Amino acid sequence: MAETIYSLEQISDWQSALMDFAKTPRTRFSKKQAVVAMIDEIEAALEAHPYEQVAEKLKVLGLDIAPGSLKQYVNAYRREHGTGPVPTSAKRSRKKAKKKKPETKASNGVGRSAVSVAARRTSQDGEALETSNSSVASRVRKAPDRTPDGFLEIAEDL
């Protein structure tokens, strides 16, 4: 089979034609591309109406889209561009990250005291396995014979 050879003039013509074509606006869109093209208007509608009503309005106008798909496309756009309200799942993730661990309560048998440092884990012999950076953690010791697992005992001089 013979290889086809193209002239520099042909290539130059094709390049010009492609540059002209690239300047023409897009005329066909997928549903996702249509949502992105109308994102400002959709965001404005979502400020006053739920996804179900906005999707219904778009169906009346000719864009057959389910509320779930609309929500996916809008949230994907928001994630990619860092705009608009934060999706609910991202809010939950932030809340979990911000949520502090509850303070550990400990008792030495005489009085109770709250400790706001990470607990020190001990082996069965009472030997330290892991400690926190806090100087208070070095005073915390586990008394397995008097307290159930997961509870700490603190020296009274704290």
DSSP per-residue codes, the chain:
-PPP---HHHHHHHHHHHHHHHHSPP----HHHHHHHTHHHHHHHHHHS-HHHHHHHHHHHT----HHHHHHHHHHHHHHHT-SSPPHHHHHHHHHHHPPPPPEEEE-SS-EEEE-SPPPEE-TTS-EEE--SSTGGGGEE--TTTS-TT-BEE-TT-
pLDDT category, 78, cuts 50, 70, 90? very high
What was the pLDDT predicted at 153?
Answer: 64
Residue 16 has a pLDDT of 97
Name the residue ranges covered by the structural domains of the chain. 28-95, 104-154
Q: Which of 31-35, 57-61, 142-146 has the least mean pLDDT? A: 142-146
Range ranked top by mean pLDDT from 58-67, 78-87, 117-126: 58-67
pLDDT of 83 reads 78
